[in-house]
Homo-oligomer: A and B are copies of this chain.
Amino acid sequence: MSEDSAQAPSEGVLQRLGEFAARDRWPAKGWCRIERALEVIGTRSAMLVLRELFYGGTRFDEFTRRTGLSEAVVAGRLKQLHADGIVERRPYREAGKRTRDEYVLTERGRQLFPILVALMQWGETLRDDHRTGVELIHRDCEAPLTVQVRCTDGHRVPLEQGAVRIKDEDYVKSALGRK
């Protein structure tokens, strides 16, 4: 039967398929995309600086003032975000001022947008002081923004209809074999 490799249906959670049903076969060690993402944007300071970048902030002093982070931390974070290809530095010049750099999101940085929206959406549910805070909206129709999980065929996918599997079982077997 084709069901023998699937986990016992524990409700409301991803279904594990194939070899991944025996979860231990897959050592997240360096392969998990979540861990990978967190190495880059996994600190509070990184998220707050990113928030300001998405809100249109570009200058060093904006980041310190609006995030409440110390200058040292902001400097370090910008340096790291730059090294990771999330922001780029652009020299610019205001009249009567010296040349300085502004920071703008790269394409890779802009791809973080869904993460920020997802965090805001979930953070909204934590308390009920719904008069404070900001909201994201669609410029055209002014309707609030949300994130949705969909498959590439366009269906909305609630958690109960999701599943996980190892992308390339043959590769994983051979990679684990010679070790």
Contacts and interface: CB of A to CB of B under 8 A. Distances in A.
A111 B117 contact: no
B115 A149 contact: no
B35 A134 contact: no
Nearest to A84: B126
Interface residues of A, number: 98
A36 interface: yes
Interface SS of chain A: mixed
Interface string A131-142: 111111111110
A133 B31 contact: yes
A131 B163 contact: no
A172 to B, nearest CB: 7
Nearest to A170: B131
A12 B137 CA distance: 15
A130 B23 contact: no
Interface string A7-51: 100101111110010011010111111111110101010011001
A102 to B, nearest CB: 9
Interface stretch (A54-62, A74-82, A93-101): A54-62
A33 B137 contact: no
8 contacts: A13-B105, A17-B137, A26-B134, A34-B51, A34-B119, A132-B168, A138-B161, A146-B152
4 shortest A-B CB distances, which residue pairs?
A: A33-B123, A37-B123, A138-B151, A143-B151
